Amino acid sequence: ERQEVRPYNRQRLLVVANRLPVSAVRRGEDSWSLEISAGGLVSALLGVKEFEARWIGWAGVNVPDEVGQKALTKALAEKRCIPVFLDEEIVHQYYNGYCNNILWPLFHYLGLPQEDRLATTRSFQSQFTAYKKANQMFADVVNEHYEEGDVVWCHDYHLMFLPKCLKEYNSKMKVGWFLHTPFPSSEIHRTLPSRSELLRSVLAADLVGFHTYDYARHFVSACTRILGLEGTPEGVEDQGRLTRVAAFPIGIDSERFIRALEVPDVIQHMKELKERFAGRKVMLGVDRLDMIKGIPQKILAFEKFLEENASWRDKVVLLQIAVPTRTDVSEYQKLTSQVHEIVGRINGRFGTLTQVPIHHLDRSLDFYALCALYAVTDVALVTSLRDGMNLVSYEFVACQEAKKGVLILSEFAGAAQSLGAGAILVNPWNITEVAASIGQALNMSAEEREKRHWHNFHHVKTHTAQEWAETFVSELNDTVIEAQLRISK
């Protein structure tokens, strides 16, 4: 495989992310079945024609035996994927612990874990050690597959230690790092015990990217205030070496959604949904069941709207589709019960024998079902307390050419900066304000809906995932060339 002949102009792109874009199920001692999970990142990179992308990451399964590892590696190679094998203990400490229990809440302004501070501080050290060890394991695999001229693109908060490990292997490697979550204010970041070490390792990259200009600015401030380095309009400078820092807002593969609406199954499903909810306006929430998505706040705002607008009670329905994630973490279990409790109470309060105001599903929907739902929705409610970007808002807009529905969007989602012109922006903590925007959205004139939709649809169609990936990678190439020129001067 390593000796294949490549077209001269196709540069290899090694995409390194915690999870490979596949789900792997073991069928026998040496046989695996694989399914590609078509997330935003996958379709973004499939669409990039100039590069030949390879994926490096964890397959999401524990494979302790060599026979299984070999078979999985072989099966994955056909999908251009290269596995990093992590054992259960590492996954527990690195992934569940440091990534999901410490970095994820901190970067979304939920602070560090506060129960039993001492125990947390103690486990914090071992989790950080596991985090670094896991990042080193990713680096070993990248290094093994790296060829001169390749571009290495590291993704997300799971791999903040990776740029440093890679540059230690080879200082000439072109390394970019992109964060999919917000980067918080430096005042938040500085509470993290390993704040400096993480910043320094990210700075080893040539190019560091964020969804918004604000996140990039927070990162530069953290480097200047915590590390005492110099921030410049280009990025961060450390003893003459520049790390370029910039904003690269992600998008979606909008054509994929638009085309889906012409598929007969989707059209049929839309028809069924319209019949099912005839005479009622459909409001929709689609989220991973995560604290940051503000699901309880959203449902409470809907309750307030029903409370204050009796005439709407039998004319509107909220469909909340919340796919459970990180189900082994107790805070996520608590969130699930909290949401169920609120939904039950509101349905008991405002439901009748034949209908309820809220349909809440704890599951994920397949792509076509999701598109049909987006297309029949009158008002989408995205009320994240913080969100790096939020692609649900983009997907909704892409599916609304016929209906021109209204998007209610949290001002704390990165998407507020790109879809703010067409959406109704809200502070999700202010339930009274969100309830009022529900009223505004339901009563909005067709002309205003059309005008707002046009703004957003235009944005979603032109700022695609493919364009995002191309821009990042070409900027990374340019950054490295500029740095070489600077050194040779």
Chain residues in the site for ligand ADQ (CB under 6 A):
40, 180-181, 250, 286-288, 321, 323, 364-365, 370, 387-392, 395
Question: 407 or 480, CB closer to ligand ADQ?
Answer: 407
Question: 161 or 396, CB closer to ligand ADQ?
Answer: 396
Q: Residue 143 CB, nearest distance to ligand ADQ (Å)? A: 26
- Record the tokens describing residue 462, joined without a space: 């032109």
DSSP line for 76-115: HHTTTEEE----HHHIIIIIIIIIIIIIHHHHTT--S--T
Tell me the pairing of strands 51-58 and 81-83. parallel
**3-class SS of residue 238:** strand
Cβ distance 175 to 163 under 8 Å?
yes
Question: 160 or 391, CB closer to ligand ADQ?
Answer: 391
Question: 263 or 323, CB closer to ligand ADQ?
Answer: 323
Question: 98 or 472, CB closer to ligand ADQ?
Answer: 472
CA-closest candidate to residue 378, choices 409, 408, 417, 422: 408
Q: How far apart are CA 227 and CA 308, in angstroms?
A: 52
Q: Residue 286 CB, nearest distance to ligand ADQ (Å)? A: 5
Q: How far apart are CA 165 and CA 173, in angstroms?
A: 11
Question: 137 or 260, CB closer to ligand ADQ?
Answer: 260
DSSP line for 453-477: HHHHHHHHHHS-HHHHHHHHHHHHH
**3-class SS of residue 282:** strand
Question: 157 or 350, CB closer to ligand ADQ?
Answer: 157
Q: Residue 119 CB, nearest distance to ligand ADQ (Å)? A: 28
- Record the tokens describing residue 393, joined without a space: 């808002």
Residue that the structure tokens 């509470």 belong to: 191
Q: Residue 179 CB, nearest distance to ligand ADQ (Å)? A: 9
Q: Which residues lie across from 360 on neighbouring strands?
A: 320
Question: 378 or 387, CB closer to ligand ADQ?
Answer: 387
Q: Residue 293 CB, nearest distance to ligand ADQ (Å)? A: 8
C-alpha angle 159-162-164 in degrees, rounded to nearest 5:
140
Q: Residue 446 CB, nearest distance to ligand ADQ (Å)? A: 27
Q: Residue 323 CB, nearest distance to ligand ADQ (Å)? A: 4
Q: Residue 226 CB, nearest distance to ligand ADQ (Å)? A: 24
First vs last C-alpha separation in the chain: 39
Q: How far apart are CA 313 and CA 321, in angstroms?
A: 20
Cβ distance 453 to 400 under 8 Å?
yes
Cα 137 to the center of its chain, rounded Å: 23
Question: 146 or 248, CB closer to ligand ADQ?
Answer: 248
Q: How far apart are CA 385 and CA 109, in angstroms?
A: 9
Q: How far apart are CA 480 and CA 474, in angstroms?
A: 10
Residue that the structure tokens 């306006």 belong to: 281
Q: Residue 34 CB, nearest distance to ligand ADQ (Å)? A: 20
Question: 203 or 465, CB closer to ligand ADQ?
Answer: 465
Q: Residue 285 CB, nearest distance to ligand ADQ (Å)? A: 9
